[in-house]
Structure 1
Amino acid sequence: MSGTLAGTGRQQHSAPGDPAGGSRAAVRIRGLRRTFGIRDVLDGLDLDIAQGEFLALLGASGTGKTTLLRILGALDRHDAGTVLVPETRTVVFQEPRLVPSKKVLANVTVALPRGADTRETGRRALAEVGLDRHADAWPATLSGGEAQRVALARALIREPELLLLDEPFAALDALTRLRMHDLVGELCRRHRPAVLLVTHDVDEAIRLADRVAVLRDGRLATDERIAIGHPRDSADPRFAALRTRLLTELGVHRAPADHAPTPAKELPA
């Protein structure tokens, strides 16, 4: 599979195989370094994401999660190392970033070739996210969850080999967030892109991902495959045990049952 060296445009070939075995790597990172001033935000990072694999990335604010995502999306450069990614990749941000002057269907198909075929493909993409009746609506009339579903349809219509999700549910209310989890999980299993989800929500990471990793000091402190079938129940003892391990890696200890979790130390802002 051909890929692009992120931030350069030079064509590269990604090597087959991934740490889990069997699948070809959609993303292959070796020795990645990104420096801001005198600080190495990413410091010799190694990472593989297999084709069709869903990886959730956790970490305290300022640890470089979004920096990594931006490098993979060609929105930022890297200072050293090798980054191999597919040519077809899309990003869904925390904000839907819809064009206010374009209706919903036009937002989904923005920058694609004009014509009846594209419009029909756009309508099918909207139907996948449950918004086929909103094709002619203006973005200002949508709820937050509806707007984010439009952003998801806009990303998936391009059939990306790599889907980058930058805390896309953070601004949604709790019920809408759970519904979006179900939708994103279903669509990713259907379309099978490699997925990188950046999130602060441990339960969200466990609920959605095939693997979950914790970024600390510029490298992966934890990288664990989730051996729990879908759908996942937060009451499952395996879910709770993984949550506890991840919170510990994030510097948070479990509080007594009648209290909310308490930070063991102050995390970076």
Structure 2
Amino acid sequence: MSPEAALPPLSTRTQSPVSATARREGEPVAVSITGLHKKFGDKVVLDGIDLEIRRGEFVVLLGPSGTGKTTLLRLLTGLEKPDSGEVLVPSRRTTVYQEPRLIPSKRVLGNVAVGQRRTGETKERATRALAEVNLAGKARQWPATLSGGEAQRVALARALVREPELLLLDEPFAALDALTRLQMQDLVGDLVARHRPAVLLVTHDVDEAVRLADRVLILDKGRFAVDTDIDLARPRDRTDPESLRYRAAFLAELGVGRTLPTTTT
């Protein structure tokens, strides 16, 4: 990692991210991880990390492939167990993956409500969730008739209908074209602001992180090399000098580029 790349916003380099969430002290803690260790064979993947994420906080996790991002996400979903340490998460948590994972034999509305009790209230909630992702007219369609972006919006509606306290996003926009990806980022940002779950988004896309995050984490060698807030107004302009400075600093931490853009006064 490149210390010369670190701007003042990236100066929080600690395994205890309490300072990064201090401004949201009034919000309840949704995720609490303490002393988390995880290894596969002889390879240490997560080396004693601590993490808190509060309700309403949008956290983006960056890092090269193989640094433990997916392992951390699986630990939060309960699909993996830690070797040691404590992982506390709310029972109401949902995950949106890179693939929509829709059931071909169920119509769109049925996919949104899948796993829920079949009641009038469930149908109403599923219908509202579809409207929130701008698919109110697609309830009776089959998944095979949807575009990639529409299918991913159904997956998002399926997550939201459960009213999660924790929303986990595993590179949910990676398979979309550039324009649809930007539209989905805006939609997710709006929905998170409205519903206020705690969010952890795993991505390789630095621009996506700067556009969406309240806070960015970068994993390296099993620990957080960066844990920093992004103090930019929304909506964010990717060409804004401050956005470019965050972008350059994160890329430098990831080993891509070494020179920060200059600004004129």
TM-score normalised to structure 1 length:
0.87
Q: Is 163-172 or 39-48 further displaced after alignment?
A: 39-48
1:229 aligns with 2:242: no
* Whole-angstrom distance in 1 between the partners of 2:44 and 2:35: 12
1:40 aligns with 2:47: no
Task: Provide the residue aligned with 1:198 in structure 2.
Answer: 202
Equivalent of 1:84, from 66, 88, 94? 88
Secondary structure in structure 1 of the residue aligned to 2:183: helix
Secondary structure in structure 1 of the residue aligned to 2:79: coil
Amino acid at match of 1:207: R
Amino acid at match of 2:97: F
Secondary structure in structure 2 of the residue aligned to 1:60: coil
Deviations 1:68-87, CA, capped at 9 Å, x for gaps: 01110111111111111111
Secondary structure in structure 1 of the residue aligned to 2:157: helix
Task: Provide the residue aligned with 1:75 in structure 2.
Answer: 79
Q: Does the 8 Å CA contact 1:18/1:50 hold for their aligned counterparts? A: no
Tell me: higher relative CO, structure 1 or 2? Use CA pairs within 8 A at least 6 residues apart: 2
In the alignment, structure 1 segments of 5+ residues that lack a partner are 1-16, 258-269
Equivalent of 2:160, from 146, 156, 159? 156
1:25 aligns with 2:32: no
Deviation at 1:255, TM superposition (A): 7.6
The correspondence of residues 55-134 of structure 1 with structure 2, limited to 5 A, is: 55-134=59-138
Deviation at 1:25, TM superposition (A): 1.4
Deviations 1:16-66, CA, capped at 9 Å, x for gaps: x94322132111111111110101111101111111100000000010101
1:146 aligns with 2:143: no
In the alignment, structure 2 segments of 5+ residues that lack a partner are 1-16
Task: Provide the residue aligned with 2:252 in structure 1.
Answer: 248
Amino acid at match of 1:186: D
* Whole-angstrom distance in 1 between the partners of 2:187 and 2:107: 22
Secondary structure in structure 2 of the residue aligned to 1:123: helix
Amino acid at match of 2:31: V
Deviation at 1:194, TM superposition (A): 0.1
* Whole-angstrom distance in 2 between the partners of 1:183 and 1:129: 7
* Whole-angstrom distance in 1 between the partners of 2:62 and 2:260: 23
Larger % of strand: which?
A: 1
Amino acid at match of 1:150: V
Q: Does the 8 Å CA contact 2:60/2:201 hold for their aligned counterparts? A: yes
1:210 aligns with 2:214: yes
Q: Does the 8 Å CA contact 1:108/1:122 hold for their aligned counterparts? A: yes
* Whole-angstrom distance in 2 between the partners of 1:255 and 1:144: 36
Let me know the Cα RMSD of the aligned residues: 1.5
* Whole-angstrom distance in 2 between the partners of 1:254 and 1:99: 45
* Whole-angstrom distance in 2 between the partners of 1:156 and 1:174: 24
Report % sequence identity.
Answer: 63
Change (3 A) 1:162 1:230: same
The correspondence of residues 183-194 of structure 1 with structure 2, limited to 5 A, is: 183-194=187-198
Q: Does the 8 Å CA contact 1:18/1:49 hold for their aligned counterparts? A: no
* Whole-angstrom distance in 1 between the partners of 2:190 and 2:234: 10
Q: Does the 8 Å CA contact 2:60/2:202 hold for their aligned counterparts? A: yes
Deviation at 1:218, TM superposition (A): 0.6
Secondary structure in structure 2 of the residue aligned to 1:253: coil
Aligned residues: 241
